[in-house]
Amino acid sequence: MFEELSIRTGARDQMLDITTDVRAIVQSSGITSGVCYIYVPHTTAGITINENADASVTRDILYELDKMVPWNDGYRHMEGNSAAHIKASMMGFSQMVIIRNGDLQLGAWQGIYFCEFDGPRNRKVFVKIIPS
């Protein structure tokens, strides 16, 4: 099973919790056991799993990423968005979550985050479910 999520980001740097969307895809699939792959087909956006109970965590992550990879730092890339490429590479472009009893097996405080680093933009996330 394959699904595509459409996402509209609203800021240059943003972390959007897409857990509810991914969970809905898994539950509607009828698959009770397997693996859910979440893939971002962009070079300036990524995906991660982290705490979703406190919004300050995502703000802290973005703050620290900005300190490590500032937007303007003498990069050579002509398009002017090298920081976005670097941050996306640091976060990664895919995540895998186990499906058990028809649901994502995330920890109590975990959520799946789409990480925008060159927005605002229209983006896609691919979700592939493999039954076991």
The tally of domains found in the chain comes to 1
**Does the pLDDT value for residue 90 go beyond 90?**
yes
For residue 15 the two structure tokens come to: 């972390």
What CATH number did the domain enclosing 71 receive?
2.60.120.460
DSSP assignment of 25-90 equals HHHHHT--EEEEEEE---SSEEEEEEE-S-THHHHHHHHHHHHHS-S-S----TTS-HHHHHHHHH
Residue 106 domain boundaries: 2-131
Q: Write down the pLDDT at residue 78.
A: 87
Across the chain, mean pLDDT equals 97
pLDDT tens-digit profile of 21-63?
A: 999 999 999 999 999 999 999 999 999 999 999 999 999 999 9
Q: Write down the pLDDT at residue 44.
A: 98
pLDDT confidence bin for 1, thresholds 50/70/90: very high
> Residue 125's closest CA among 82, 59, 115?
115
Q: Write down the pLDDT at residue 40.
A: 98
